A and B are shown apart, each in its own frame.
Chain A
Amino acid sequence: MKREKFDIITDSCIPLPLENIDTDQIVPARFLKATTREGFGENLFRDWRFDKDGNRIESFVMNNPAYSGRILVAGKNFGCGSSREHAAWAIADYGFRVVVSSFFADIHKNNELNNFVLPVVVSEEFLSELFESIDKDPKCQVTVNLPQQTITNNATGKSEHFEINGYKKHCLMHALDDIDFLLSNKDKIEEYEQNKQK
């Protein structure tokens, strides 16, 4: 897995103003058969990007050259459904570093964090204004500042604070993962098991 330290990102966005985008849409089940983590970007939103003969569906936003950037902006309840981490691998492999929504499904949110993609939860107002800004100017930029925990719509100047726990923030900023942490805590695990046996 690519581990890139996270700090401040300013970039344009790809908008998906739909609610309840499930992980079956992010990566359909027939692409889950790989035994490695690589190459899932090709199949990100596969059935929205390509028709059944493999031709690009020109009307879909990701096929529109006007839109680009490392920030995906999606409607409420992004990533619901299956726990497949392949969805997060596809998002990361395609090149996204941030996903912005007003609400994320729990498992998918964890999966993004574990792949060094930052899920940023914003208010409904911020989200709908951001969709409007992108609609007016597809090149409109957003700045995500992890150290400060702020997201700014540079078209309007509006800024919001976002939540992330201190532990996960530290992991993202230093490119550390949870296994590193757990392996350094083996004594506590053994202590728990011994107490349980008593």
Chain B
Amino acid sequence: MNTLFDKIWDAHVVQKVEDGPTQLYIDRLYCHEVTSPQAFDELRSRGISCLRPERIYCMPDHNIPTMGQEKPIEEPVSRKQVETLVKNAEEFGLSLFGMKHPKNGIIHVVGPELGLTLPGMTIVCGDSHTSTHGAMGAVAFGIGTSEVGMVMASQCILQQKPKAMRISVEGTLGKGVTAKDVALYIMSQMTTSGATGYFVEYAGSAIRSMSMESRLTLCNLSIEMGARGGMVAPDEITFEYIKGREYAPKGEEWDKAVAYWRTLYSGDDAVFDKEFTFRAEDIEPRITYGTNPGMGIGITETVPSIDSVDEAGRASYEKSLEYMDFESGKSLIGKPIDYVFVGSCTNGRIEDFRAFAAIVKGRRKADNVTAWIVPGSWSVQRQIVAEGIDKVLQEAGFELRQPGCSACLAMNEDKVPSGKYCVSTSNRNFEGRQGPGARTILASPYVAAAAAVTGKITDPREFL
């Protein structure tokens, strides 16, 4: 009770259904092209419109090519899905940032950077990484397409209230240790289902001192331990980030909003259903070795032995290592890799490209590596150019691509071939996630940069 989560959730309850879920009011619905067409069809089949179209923002991101966006999408099925979103947005009168629109990008990068995502809001999208927006002090969670239809029709959703969990990280992060490493560390401690049924609040000195973009990375990965969402109480760092953004409140409205946002924190008497505390000093740059994001190790550690896995999980564990062609008990340092992907809603913000550039500057891309450097939005792309990072990349042999979800889930052309290893700053290392048979190693932009210049898994601290 009286947690940050409770305060926002309770302020949005329309009614509690008897012996059932809560009817929750939704402030913002984001729609992308993959999980919305069937929801629009549902409305059409009932002959109804969106109840509050002004609260809905649409942008295609999953199918978008990362080269040649000037031309129509070549792949006909992808093109149709993107065109369907455009038609639906027009028919239902919704805001749309289409392909090549200066505001287009990955929905979870664009929402915060435009000031569409604000503290105290309830936010949903047909996408599990909607948890990202919680970093701004919002209750944000991913939903299915039937639920997208529900929100379009009624601006409400029926949900069971999740339980509350607080994860604190205390202390100071070491050199080369980023929010991505913190998230991968927490996941490996919690497992891929350890927070299922919970909404997580991240707290503690290490989180408080994180930049807004780092917090977005951290909250983005909440779903990878099963959590419905993750959030951070809004503070000066949050307000500073939001101030002046296009859709953020202005003038008197701004002062009123900040005064309200300052009330959004867990009180001293807040009761969480579960609490965990981790030490920042225990976290080193991390990589994953398996086929779910919880299967990770510190970069200097070895792949865990099968004896450390409980009996019911052994079949999955063995399948995982076989898929990755890794051996338990072995270190992964020095292991040759084939691809590097920097981008996604996890690590596609300006901070991530600065980190990548810090290591590749003055060095050369390894010949055995194919690298995809993909900004999370056109706004990030413009910032990269403004800061001259594109020149640094070019001199090091890297090519900057156009924004989109890209190789995170390979719905466009950016597919990792079967059997190849990709060090990826994205969020999932599931079998086939980056293309059928592709082997994904999740890591931070620093680890990705060290791998890109050496052609193998390398501790990035050597370069910092």
Given contacts A32-B34, A166-B19, A188-B15, contact A107 B154 (CB under 8 A): no
Once bound together, how far apart are the Cα atoms of A104 and B62, in whole Å?
Answer: 26
B144 in contact with A105 (CB, 8 Å): no
Our pick among A37, A88, A103, A166 for the contact of B18 (Cβ within 8 Å) is A166
Interface positions of A from 148 to 198, Cβ below 8 Å from B: 165-168, 177-179, 181-183, 185-186, 188-189, 192-193, 196
For A19, the chain B residues whose CB sits under 8 A away are: 312-313, 315-316
User: Is A82 located at the chain interface by the 8 A CB criterion?
Assistant: yes
User: Is B23 located at the chain interface by the 8 A CB criterion?
Assistant: yes
For B19, the chain A residues whose CB sits under 8 A away are: 165-167
- Count of A-B contacts judged by CB separation below 8 Å: 191
User: Is B235 located at the chain interface by the 8 A CB criterion?
Assistant: no
User: Is B436 located at the chain interface by the 8 A CB criterion?
Assistant: yes
Q: Chain A: how many interface residues by the 8 Å CB criterion?
A: 56
Once bound together, how far apart are the Cα atoms of A188 and B51, in whole Å?
Answer: 13
> A51-69: contact bitstring with B at CB < 8 Å (1 yes, 0 no)?
0100000000000000000
B37 in contact with A36 (CB, 8 Å): yes
Interface locus among A6-14, A20-28, A137-145: A20-28
Once bound together, how far apart are the Cα atoms of A105 and B193, in whole Å?
Answer: 7
B312 in contact with A189 (CB, 8 Å): no
Once bound together, how far apart are the Cα atoms of A76 and B411, in whole Å?
Answer: 28
B38 in contact with A35 (CB, 8 Å): yes
User: Is B277 located at the chain interface by the 8 A CB criterion?
Assistant: no
A85 in contact with B21 (CB, 8 Å): no
Interface positions of B from 95 to 119, Cβ below 8 Å from A: none
User: Is B395 located at the chain interface by the 8 A CB criterion?
Assistant: no
Interface locus among B155-163, B325-333, B382-390: B155-163
Once bound together, how far apart are the Cα atoms of A38 and B23, in whole Å?
Answer: 29
Interface positions of B from 264 to 294, Cβ below 8 Å from A: 292
B17 in contact with A36 (CB, 8 Å): no
User: Is A47 located at the chain interface by the 8 A CB criterion?
Assistant: yes
> A80-117: contact bitstring with B at CB < 8 Å (1 yes, 0 no)?
11111110100000000000000101110011001100
User: Is A133 located at the chain interface by the 8 A CB criterion?
Assistant: no
Once bound together, how far apart are the Cα atoms of A137 and B461, in whole Å?
Answer: 56
User: Is A124 located at the chain interface by the 8 A CB criterion?
Assistant: yes
Q: A62: shortest Cβ distance to chain B, in Å?
A: 16
Name, among A34, A80, A181, A188, the residue most crowded by chain B CB atoms within 10 Å (CB to CB).
Answer: A80
Q: Which residue of A lies closest to B405 (CB)?
A: A29
Given contacts A107-B128, A111-B146, A189-B51, contact A179 B153 (CB under 8 A): yes
A-B contact pairs, 30 of them (CB 8 A): A28-B432, A30-B436, A32-B411, A33-B77, A35-B37, A36-B38, A47-B432, A77-B193, A80-B192, A80-B226, A82-B428, A83-B35, A83-B130, A85-B35, A85-B145, A103-B193, A105-B193, A106-B196, A106-B197, A107-B128, A107-B144, A110-B159, A166-B18, A166-B19, A167-B17, A168-B21, A178-B150, A188-B14, A189-B51, A193-B25
